[in-house]
Amino acid sequence: MNGGRWNHQLVPCIYTSESRALAILEYTVNVNINEIPRALSITAIEIPDDGLEQLKPSDLPGDWTQIPAPTSTKDFGTFLLKKADKLIIKIPSIIVPREFNYILNPLHINSKYFKILDLEDFIYDLRIKS
């Protein structure tokens, strides 16, 4: 709804990470402490291997690590998401560049192959943000 580093507002996508720890770090840098809800959950999702677009830093706009996210990254990601063949985009994390985030395209015809493996309540430890 609001857009993010890799999508414009109203271009749907699901931001995920390759590990719970990276997901928490990504969430932490993108949320204000006063906006953290009491009820959170962590979901493990199985994603298919086919339809994966793996990107290296050299594939990305030159300013992709700028904060706040520049328009160039929103344009780049939105373009990829709107291409019919992009189910999953594997992209380096800015926080931990040798780890990866996955951007899932919920509008892709094969998005039904995303499978929820586990859903658990998560209590955010505010010490991370303090």
Asked if the structure places residue 1 within a domain, the reply is no
Q: Is residue 86 part of a domain?
A: yes
**How many structural domains are present in the chain?**
1
63 forms beta bridges with none
Domain with 43, as residue range(s), is: 14-128
As averages over each run of 10 residues, the pLDDT of the chain (130 residues) reads 90 94 94 88 88 91 95 96 84 94 89 88 90
Nearest-angstrom CA–CA distance, 111 and 61 = 26
* pTM, to two decimals: 0.89
- pLDDT reported for residue 19: 95
pLDDT at 130: 77
Identity of residue 8: H
Q: Where are the beta strands (DSSP E) in the chain?
A: 14-17, 40-46, 52-54, 88-92, 100-104, 115-122
What pLDDT does residue 84 have?
Answer: 64
What is the structure's pLDDT at 83?
Answer: 79
What pLDDT, on a 0 to 100 scale, did the predictor assign at position 22? 97
Q: Is residue 39 part of a domain?
A: yes
Position 51 scores a pLDDT of 78
**Domain-located, residue 4:** no
The two three-digit tokens of residue 125, written as one number: 């430890």
